[in-house]
Amino acid sequence: MLATVVHPGLKGSTVEARAYQLEGVAEALECSTLLVYPTAAGKTAVSAMVLSEVITNGGKAVMIAPTVGLVEQHKGTLKDWLAEGISISTLTGSTTADKRGPVWNSSTVVIATPQVFHNDILSGLIDPSSLEILIVDEAHHSVGSHAMGKSCDEFIIRGGNKILAMTASPGYSKSHVEALCRRLGINRIHIRSSTDSGLKRYLSDLELIEVRVEVPEELVELASPLKQWQEGLIDTERRLGRYVHGGKVTYVGLSGAMERARGAISRGDGTAFASVSRLALALTLNHLINHILSQGVGAAREFLRRKSSDASSSKKSTRAFLTDNRVTDLRNKLDELDEVHTKIGTVRRLVSERLRRSPESKIIIFANFRDTVASIHRALEGIEGASPLRFVGQSKKPEGGLTSKEQIQTISDFRLGAGNILVATSVGEEGLDIPSADLVIFYEPVGSETRTIQRRGRTGRRRQGDVVVLIAEGTRDEAAAVASHRREAAMMKSINAVRRALTGGPINYSLLGPFSVQNIDGEIDVESFIKNEREASKHEFPQFEETGSNVVMPVIDQEKTARPAAYRPSGQSGLDDF
């Protein structure tokens, strides 16, 4: 029998009892908390238990999520888990302002997009001081000018109580995590990693496979005139001493050269203005070259289309770039080409092989650009057993994206089996609970640890899954893959460093008094359940048997033994000074 959580605010036998989640509930009920779990570890379950306690005590709550799809998903989950009679409503941009006021007044729990919540605070439709808790899903968005961050600002300024911020990836640097915690008023961090003994048994195994592919000769030839153009620009900057990196032109080298050129301008060197123009053009060419070589025809077309429609197209430099013979020639060739990148063929082989071995498989393919998504979608249509679905964000362009309703319908079709392959842009990366997606293909690696974690989390939620990353040799794909691994490893260190600096204190288990756990032996209190779970997952060290034989230990030459002082920094007299 599966152990389940018992609480007046929860439906019976709906929320599985997990010790680490109950500890997260206790921390979230005490003060503003940042909850960091791997994807598919049950952050939503923690929020549901927190809501059940808040509502039972007469409080109101708001949950904000970055997309309409997530808002609707959370509504469905909470309706399944929270007790009957609890009023749960959703508010998105499609709900007119005159209808939102009554919803705020009549609902116990409102799930909204950040922009709607922010606007309704400013217009007075909702008073944050009337809310017991604000739950922030995918809280890593709460930075800069994003509406999620602005919503949290207003919530805190106007007297809101606690925040429960949830994410799998708050950022790789300590300063980033610190800034997030400061902005959200976080008092403690509850973190569990995929290697945690109490959590890892609930996660399916993932196998990460990197597949390297050669760039087709056609694409190398397309990029060749652009590379020659870029080299000419950089040769000038090398002679001026502003581009100092050897070897092939890189983004890092260009960024450093741009900083030196701007520094020269600030010192009154008028010749550096021309350098800034040349380097800006070299950066544009660098992006375009990488689009061609690592992404393919569709991505290059979309890059140039965005460049043409961008506000910067009114600039003289942008017009000069777009009307240059080398660019117009490239656009004409791209318009005549189908997608020829070897990655497309590799995707076809991976999908075909998976469906041949396991016809019931569900597959998700991520690509950065809509044109690439369209190319992949077309390439999959002829494969036996393949039923691909296109999943992209909203757009006002004619070739456009999907409306919020179409996005929700697409995910529903995928979940119910109307399609077995989801080809998605970044809109599909976050939070979507897609059961049994057992293969995820990254059309390209992404340098961001946040996006990598989110993409990878779309598989292995119910059973073992594979993650395949396609890397085009000799392109920025190689650097992006390395950067993602490095940043993900740094992230855990940064979070723990910030957590130790916060004045959290031990978990107050008395806050879990209204909860209990129903298992095969009956109903027990939560603290006993957590203690039993810890004992069950505790690592057992091997016991050495007494053999009765005399074991001769080697004698250490005292003359060669280093003194303890040699192992510590000068000035350190004890552990407190470490």
The residue written with tokens 């209808």 in the block is 99
Which stretches does DSSP call E strand in 200-247? Answer: 206-213
CATH fold of 4-202+492-505+514-524, please? Answer: Rossmann fold (3.40.50)
pLDDT at position 484, please? 72
Rounded Cα distance, 84 and 54, in Å: 15
Domain 206-214+341-473 -> CATH class? alpha beta
489-505 burial code (b ≥16 CB/10 A, e <16): eebeebbbebbeebebe
16 pLDDT band (50/70/90 cuts)?
very high
- Averaged pLDDT of the chain: 85
pLDDT at position 458, please? 46
Least confident of 130-134, 139-143, 308-312, 573-577: 573-577
pLDDT tens-digit map of 219-246: 999 999 999 999 999 999 999 999 999 8
Domain with CATH 1.20.1320.20 in the chain: 217-336
pLDDT tens-digit map of 47-67: 999 999 999 999 999 999 998
Section 449-478 average pLDDT: 67
pLDDT at position 46, please? 97
398 pLDDT band (50/70/90 cuts)?
very low
Least confident of 146-150, 159-163, 289-293, 378-382: 378-382
Please check the confidence at residue 550 and state whether its pLDDT lies above 60.
no
Q: Extract the tokens encoding 424.
A: 């998605």
518 pLDDT band (50/70/90 cuts)?
very high
Domain with CATH 3.40.50.300 in the chain: 4-202+492-505+514-524, 206-214+341-473
Long-range contacts at 245-253 (CB < 8 A, ≥ 24 apart): 249/282, 249/286, 250/286, 251/283, 251/286, 251/476
Q: Which residue has the higher pLDDT, 160 or 568?
A: 160
Architecture of domain 217-336: Up-down Bundle (1.20)
